[in-house]
Structure 1
């Protein structure tokens, strides 16, 4: 009985960790893309002067 409960808790924790990793990597990719766009915009602004 304890083994089954422990197994289900561990399975849930692994799923939560996987979801957290996916969400954080998506946020990181979006932030990286936005920073790249901002840097490109700044570069174009400074070169046009």
Structure 2
């Protein structure tokens, strides 16, 4: 039973890490796109 709980905890940790990384990558992409737009149109 302890092994099963340990595996379940590891799986949840992996899922949480994946979600965090996905959100971080999305945020970084948004910032990169905004930086490119600012560079192309600095007066706006």
Structure 1 stretches of 4+ with a deviation exceeding 4 A read: none
**Aligned partner (choices 20, 25, 28) of residue 37 of structure 1:** 25
Higher Rg: 1
Report how many aligned residue pairs link the two structures. 37
Taking the TM superposition and a 5 Å limit, the aligned residue runs for 1:19-30 are 19-30=7-18
Unaligned stretches of 5+ in structure 1?
Answer: 1-12
Unaligned segments of structure 2, at least 5 residues: 38-44
Q: Could you say which structure has the greater relative contact order, defined with CA pairs below 8 angstroms and 6 or more residues apart? A: 2
Distance in 1 (CA, whole Å) between partners of 2:34 and 2:5 is: 43
More helix by share: 1
Root-mean-square deviation (CA, aligned residues, Å) is 0.9
String of CA shifts for 1:1-48, please: whole Å, max 9, x gaps.
Answer: xxxxxxxxxxxx211110110000011111111111100000011111
